[in-house]
Structures are given as C-alpha cells and as structure tokens.
Amino acid sequence: METNLLEIKKLNVSFSGFHAVSDVDLNVKEGEIHVVIGPNGAGKSTLMDLLTGQTKPTSGQVLFEGNNITGKEPGIIASKYHIGRKFQGPNVFDNMTVYENVEIALKGYTTILKALTYKRTKDKKDKIKEILEAIQLFDKKDMMASELSHGQRQWLEIGMVMAQSPKLIILDEPVAGMTDVETYKTGEMVKQLAGEHTMIVIEHDMEFVEQIAQTVTVLHQGKVLAEGTFEEIKNNPKVIQVYLQDENGEGY
C-alpha cells in the first residue's frame, strides 16, 4: 500500500486580506515525484513557504510522517523532519570549489567554520563523491563555483540539498533558464533521486513536467484547480483554459 509522506489539510494563508493559499488539500506519496504547476502568482512558492516554515499558515494543517509540523520553525523542519528545499534564487558559495560547496552543505550551513576545519573522513568523502556523481559534477569538483554554467550551478544546489539527506526534497523552478540539454539532464537526475527521496517540484516547463511527473497538482488563485497524472492534467479543459492555452487557444 502506498503511504502518504506528506498530508496538507485545508491550508490557508492570507496577506492583509489577500488569500494567497486557500483551503489547499494535497497528499504526497512516499517516493513519488509530485509536480505543482500553475500561473504566476498562483501561490506555488507560498505553499512551499508554508511547508518549510518560512511563512506561518492562518489555518489548516501540515502532517509529515504523521507529525504535525504546522507553523514550526524552518530550522526545525529542515533538521528534525528532514525536509530540504532549493529556493528560486541561487544559493551557492561562488568563491569556493564545487567540492567545498557540497562539503559545507554536508556539515550544515550553521557551522561553516567548523565545516572548513573538520577532517575529511572516508565516510564523508564517499558521500561527497556519491553526490557529485549524482549531479554530474564529479569531474568539475575542483572548479570554483563561479566558473560553472547556470545549469551546473543549479545542479550544485541540488547536490547541496541532497547533502542534508532529506526525506522530502522541494525544488522550486529548477530548470528556469537552462538549455534544453541541461533541462533533460535535470529530469533524469530528478528521476534518479526519487524513490530514495520524495520530490515536490514546481515548474512551468511542460516538457520537463511530462518527463518527470507521477502526480501533477494545478494551483490557480491559491486553490487546487485539478490533480492527476500528466495526461489527465494536459487534457483537463479547466487547466487548459487557465494555464496551458496559448494565444491561439491551443493547449500543450
């Protein structure tokens, strides 16, 4: 039987009367890749803020492995419940190598000084190597992060999230600005991560969504408009109308 790792129940947040997230119910199954799509301003990133503690909900519940994590602090959600997140903006240390970036993430951002002086034990080295291979940057490990391409920097960030051994990984628009080749590679990377990790991915790139999604939830004006497989979502008239239709009225 498939179990839910994450259950969101009737979650709400409003900012001075504006309902950014409105009565959202969403379940994420253990090991799946769950994609959240929807127009700009639909509330996708805000919903993730509510999961990872950056924003406190006005009402509703977030259950993770059956634990009520509603309104807990971001540090607790990350370290005690093991929910990792890659934000929309860049978060790598430019003046360090690729290897050092992963190494620091492994030790935790809070103790950067300690991380720089700790011994590279075999276990740690193996773990770093495993991550660098998964994000296809092992051969670039001694390069400065600043020398990486945009796509490679995004992968490094995914690696830095992986270093925290999260059960749930949240990626907010991971392929924005990537080339088609990089986008495809990212999709394969995400599929490899799933299973061991459960994934929530926010994206606008529908080809990428088709490549990776097991379940798709569509948000519109803070509410869940539809949920289903990619095929179901792609053919849903409501979704086509608010999101997938181009200027000629053609769907994806």
Ligand X SMILES: Nc1ncnc2c1ncn2[C@@H]1O[C@H](COP(=O)(O)OP(=O)(O)OP(=O)(O)O)[C@@H](O)[C@H]1O
> Of ligand X, Mg ion, none, which one sits near residue 42, judging by CB under 5 to 8 A according to partner kind?
ligand X
What does 82-126 look like in DSSP terms, one character per residue? -EEEE-SS----TTSBHHHHHHHHHH-GGGHHHHHHS---HHHHH
73-93 burial, b if ≥16 CB within 10 A, otherwise e?
eeeebbeebbbbbbbeeebbb
Nearest distance, CB of residue 41 and ligand X, angstroms: 4
> Of ligand X, Mg ion, none, which one sits near residue 187, judging by CB under 5 to 8 A according to partner kind?
none
Nearest distance, CB of residue 242 and Mg ion, angstroms: 16
Q: Is the C-alpha dihedral spanning 147, 140, 143, 159 positive or negative?
A: positive
Q: What 3-state DSSP class applies to 130?
A: helix
Residues in Cβ contact with 147 at an 8 Å cutoff, skipping those fewer than 6 apart: none
Is residue 52 involved in binding Mg ion (CB under 5 A)?
no
> Of ligand X, Mg ion, none, which one sits near residue 27, judging by CB under 5 to 8 A according to partner kind?
none
Q: d(Cα 142, Cα 48) in Å, to the nearest integer?
A: 33
Of the pair 34, 44, the CB lying nearest Mg ion is at 44
What is the contact surface with ligand X in residues (CB under 6 A)?
A: 15, 20, 38, 40-46
Of the pair 87, 138, the CB lying nearest ligand X is at 87
Nearest distance, CB of residue 175 and ligand X, angstroms: 13
Among positions 61-90, residues that touch Mg ion (CB under 5 A) are none
Q: d(Cα 219, Cα 242) in Å, to the nearest integer?
A: 10
Is residue 46 involved in binding Mg ion (CB under 5 A)?
no
Tell me which stretch binds Mg ion (CB under 5 A): 14-22, 43-51, 216-224, 243-251.
43-51
DSSP character for 232?
A: H
Among 22, 27, 45, 101, binds Mg ion (CB under 5 A): 45
Residues 25 and 16: beta-carbon distance below 8 Å = no
Is residue 198 involved in binding Mg ion (CB under 5 A)?
no
> Of Mg ion, ligand X, none, which one sits near residue 28, judging by CB under 5 to 8 A according to partner kind?
none
Residues 35 and 206: beta-carbon distance below 8 Å = no
> Of ligand X, Mg ion, none, which one sits near residue 95, judging by CB under 5 to 8 A according to partner kind?
none
Q: d(Cα 21, Cα 10) in Å, to the nearest integer?
A: 10
Is residue 55 involved in binding Mg ion (CB under 5 A)?
no
Q: Would you tell me which residues interact with Mg ion (CB under 5 A)? A: 44-45
